[in-house]
């Protein structure tokens, strides 16, 4: 996870160069602290990482350009945290290589335990994502007529593919590598959305 934290920190630094904001500075400080703690193997890495994720909607490019209501920012923060829980769990599990594969009882139990959390995190992510989309789009036609809408549609398609791959993996098909790859692509689409002006 150290690599992902470092990439997030680099992205924050680049954003801070273009958009001067104390919220972005706080976010990248938290990401840097999380990266340092992660590289040292500290169990406290989650504290600054979760803080940085929660501040992300308040400190992003779109927030700096188009301030929104506090309720929308709270929904965005919940969206980011639940998505991080779901996609981060997939990335963490995909990095594991159980000695006897994912069909053993221990590996299946691990997937089942994560699956219970993943279903809730996916539901919260989908609901808050829908709320966010209703804030940023004027109508369904924006999904194919604007750059923001096209990237959002690609992100939603990626999330649906992730959900399908997660279900297959949970049933013993695959090893999570494809799911993790799609998760990374969804994160890239999310980063692209943060740089685009919303149609609304």
Last residue of a domain, one of 37, 67, 97: 67
Query: Tens digits of per-residue pLDDT, 138-189?
Result: 888 999 999 999 999 999 999 999 999 988 888 878 778 898 899 889 888 8
Tens digits of residue pLDDT in 22-45: 888 888 899 899 889 988 988 898
Domain check: are 91 and 46 in the same one? no
Query: Where a domain ends, among 67, 87, 116?
Result: 67
Q: Show the domain range for 122.
A: 71-200
User: Do 18 and 92 sit in the same domain of this protein?
Assistant: no
Residue 39 shares a structural domain with residue 128: no
**Residue 165 near residue 179, CB atoms below 8 Å:** yes
Both 126 and 82 in a single domain? yes
Do residues 32 and 131 share a domain?
A: no
Q: Residue 62: pLDDT above 50?
A: no
Q: Which helix (H) or strand (E) holds 116?
A: helix 105-136
pLDDT value for 200:
73
Percent of the chain predicted with pLDDT > 70: 90
Count structural domains, the chain. 2
Claim to verify: residue 92 and residue 172 sit in the same structural domain: yes
The tokens describing 115, both together, are 């699956």
In contact, 165 and 174? CB cutoff 8 Å: yes
Alpha carbon distance 92, 5 (integer Å): 13
**pLDDT given at position 61:** 41
How does pLDDT run across 83-101, given as a tens digit for each residue? Answer: 888 888 888 888 888 888 7
Same domain, 140 and 109: yes
User: What is d(CA 72, CA 131) in angstroms, rounded to the nearest whole number?
Assistant: 8
């Amino acid at each position: 996870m150290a690599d992902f934290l470092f990439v997030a920190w680099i992205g924050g630094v680049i954003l801070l160069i273009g958009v001067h904001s104390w919220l972005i500075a706080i976010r990248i400080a938290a990401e840097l602290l999380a990266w340092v703690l992660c590289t040292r193997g500290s169990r406290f890495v989650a504290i600054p990482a979760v803080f940085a994720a929660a501040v992300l909607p308040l400190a992003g490019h779109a927030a700096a350009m188009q301030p929104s209501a506090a309720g929308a920012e709270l929904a965005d923060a919940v969206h980011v945290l639940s998505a991080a829980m779901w996609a981060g769990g997939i990335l963490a599990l995909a990095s594991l290589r159980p000695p006897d594969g994912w069909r053993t009882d221990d590996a299946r139990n691990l997937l089942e335990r994560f699956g219970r959390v993943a279903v809730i995190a996916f539901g919260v992510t989908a609901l808050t994502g829908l709320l966010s989309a209703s804030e940023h789009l004027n109508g369904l036609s924006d999904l194919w007529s604007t750059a923001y809408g096209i990237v959002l549609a690609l992100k939603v398609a990626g999330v649906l593919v992730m959900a399908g791959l997660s279900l297959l993996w949970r049933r013993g098909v695959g090893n999570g590598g494809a799911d993790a790859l799609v998760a990374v692509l969804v994160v890239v689409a999310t980063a692209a959305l943060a740089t685009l002006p919303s149609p609304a």
